C-alpha cells in the first residue's frame, strides 16, 4: 500500500510556564512507494517516533494529511488503520505463551471480521513460521532470548496482515551479532510479505544495509529521501553527508580561489565554476589515492592493515577531527618511515558545503 504524507506537522505544547513548544515533525511531504522497505533515519530526538505514531494513529497531527493508497486516514483511529507496530521493547504479555501472544490481536474481532478458532490458529502458525519461531509456541516470553522475543513481537504485528508495518528501533535492544542477523531477517520477511514497511533507526548503517529507500530527518525536518547509495554519493547538505558513512566523512576548513580548492596552502583539486569563498570540505575515506607527489600532504600517524584494505591515519591542521581516515587498497605500500603521506583526491568523493551547510556542486 502506497503511503502519502501531505504537509504533516506535529507540534507539542511546551510544558510549564514559558516553555517553548516543540515542532517534532515539521511540514513533511513525501510518498512511500507500495511494497517497499523505507528507513526513517536521524539522530535521537529528531522526530522519528512521532512520525511513526502519526502513521499509526496513536498521535493526531497538528496539520497535514496522511493517505493510505487513496484513503485519507488522517482522522481514522489506530484500530481501523490496519497497521502493525513493533517497538524497541518487545512489549509482549509476560503471562501469555508465544502462541497466545500472537493470537491476541485476532481475538477481539467482531461482526463480519470475527474469525473461527481454527482460522486464528492457522494465521498464528503462518506468522510464527514467517519469523521462524514455530517451535517455541508454548514458551513464555521469559523463556526466550531477546532476539526470539522480538521475533514474537514481529509475528504478532504480522498476524493481522497489516496494510503497513511500522518498526520503531526494533533492533536496539539486541546485541551486535544478533542485530546484524535480525536485520537480514527483517529484509527477508519484508520481501516475503511485500508489506510496505517503515523502519525507524538512528543507526545509519542499519538503514543503509537493508532499506530500499532512506528518509533522513533532523530536528523535525526532512533532509533528503532516496536510495541509500544515491543519498550517500550525492548528499543534499552537510548534515546528511556527515550522518551517513562509517567511518564518517573527513572534514576540513577550506577555501576556493580562482577555481581551485585549497586546504591550508595546498591546492588539492580543481573546482571549476565555484566562486571564491570559504567552504567546508568533506572527503570520504575512500576518496584518497596514495600518490608520492600527490596534491594533498598530511602528517602520517599510523597505518592499520585490515586485510582487504589499509586505513591510513594522518593529521592536518585544517581537519576538524583529531585524525583523517583514508582507506586505500591493500596492494598500496605506505612508507611508514616518512613523517608525511601524500594523496591525490577522487573528485566525486570530495564534497563542498557553504557556510549554511548547503552543498556546492562542481
Ligand atoms: P526520536 O524518536 O527521533 O528520538 P521523538 O519523535 O521521540 O524523537 O521526539 C521528537 C521531539 O518531540 C523531541 O524533542 C521530544 O522531546 C518531543 N516529544 C516527543 N513526544 C512528546 C510529547 N508527548 N510531549 C512533548 N514533547 C514530545
Ligand atoms: Mg524514538
Cβ of 162 closer than 6 Å to ligand 1, yes or no, is no
Inter-residue contact 199 to 179 (CB < 8 Å): no
- What's the whole-model pTM score? 0.92
Query: What's the confidence (pLDDT) of residue 15?
Result: 83
- Say yes or no: CB of residue 284 within 6 Å of ligand 1: no
Residue 174 is given by DSSP the state S
250 touches 315 (CB < 8 A)? no
DSSP 66-100: EEETTEE-TT--GGGTTEEEE-SS----TTS-HHH
Ligand 2 centroid from CA 1, angstroms: 24
Q: What is the Cα–Cα distance from 335 to 355, expressed in whole angstroms?
A: 37
Peptide bond into 247 cis (omega under 30): yes
Chain-centre distance for alpha carbon 58: 22
Q: What are phi and psi of 321, to 5 degrees?
A: -110, 160
Ligand 1 centroid – CA 9 distance (Å): 13
| Atom nearest to 13 CA in ligand 1 | 25
Q: Tell me how far the alpha carbon of residue 185 lies from the centroid of ligand 2, in angstroms.
A: 22
Residues of the chain with pLDDT under 70: none
pLDDT given at position 141? 95
Round to whole Å and give the CA distance between 87 and 76: 21
DSSP secondary structure of 300-315: EEEEEE-SSEEEEEEE
Each residue of 259-317: pLDDT tens digit? 999 999 999 999 999 999 999 999 999 999 999 999 999 999 999 988 889 999 999 99
Per-residue DSSP letter, 240:
H
Amino acid at each position: 500500500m502506497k503511503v502519502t504524507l501531505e504537509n504533516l506537522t506535529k507540534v507539542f505544547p511546551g510544558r510549564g510556564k514559558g516553555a517553548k513548544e516543540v515542532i517534532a515533525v515539521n511540514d513533511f511531504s513525501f510518498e512511500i512507494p507500495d511494497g517497499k522497505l523505507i528507513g526513517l533515519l536521524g539522530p535521537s530526538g529528531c522526530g522519528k517516533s512521532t512520525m511513526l505514531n502519526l502513521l499509526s494513529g496513536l498521535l493526531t497531527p497538528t496539520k497535514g494529511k496522511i493517505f493510505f493508497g487513496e484513503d485519507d486516514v488522517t482522522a481514522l483511529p489506530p484500530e481501523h488503520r490496519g497497521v502493525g507496530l513493533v517497538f524497541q521493547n518487545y512489549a509482549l504479555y509476560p503471562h501469555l505463551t508465544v502462541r497466545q501472544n500472537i493470537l491476541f490481536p485476532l481475538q477481539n474481532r467482531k461482526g463480519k471480521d470475527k474469525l473461527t478458532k481454527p482460522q486464528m490458529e492457522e494465521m498464528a502458525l503462518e506468522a510464527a513460521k514467517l519469523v521462524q519461531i514455530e517451535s517455541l509456541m508454548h514458551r513464555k516470553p521469559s523463556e526466550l532470548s531477546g532476539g526470539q522475543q522480538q521475533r514474537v513481537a514481529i509475528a504478532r504485528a504480522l498476524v493481522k496482515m497489516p496494510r503497513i508495518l511500522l518498526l520503531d528501533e526494533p533492533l536496539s535492544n539486541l546485541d551486535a551479532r544478533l542485530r546484524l542477523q535480525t536485520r537480514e531477517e527483517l529484509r527477508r520477511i519484508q520481501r516475503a510479505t511485500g508489506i510496505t514497511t517503515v523502519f525507524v533507526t538512528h543507526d545509519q548503517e542499519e538503514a543503509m544495509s537493508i532499506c530500499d529507500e532512506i528518509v533522513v530527518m533532523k530536528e523535525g525536518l526532512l533532509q533528503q529521501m532516496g536510495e541509500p547509495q544515491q543519498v550517500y554519493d550525492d548528499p543534499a547538505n552537510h548534515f546528511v553527508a556527515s550522518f551517513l558513512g562509517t567511518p564518517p566523512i573527513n572534514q576540513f576548513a577550506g577555501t576556493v580561489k580562482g577555481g581551485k580548492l585549497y586546504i591550508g596552502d595546498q591546492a588539492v583539486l580543481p573546482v571549476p565554476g565555484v566562486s571564491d569563498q570559504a567552504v567546508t570540505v568533506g572527503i570520504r575515506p575512500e576518496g584518497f589515492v596514495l600518490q608520492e607527489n600527490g596534491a594533498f600532504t598530511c602528517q602520517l600517524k599510523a597505518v592499520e592493515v585490515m586485510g582487504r584494505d589499509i586505513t591510513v591515519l594522518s593529521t592536518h591542521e585544517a581537519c576538524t577531527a583529531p585524525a583523517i581516515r583514508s582507506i586505500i587498497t591493500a596492494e598500496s605500500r605506505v612508507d611508514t618511515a616518512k613523517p608525511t603521506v601524500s594523496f591525490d583526491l577522487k573528485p566525486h568523493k570530495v564534497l563542498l558545503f557553504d557556510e549554511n551547510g548547503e552543498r556546492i556542486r562542481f
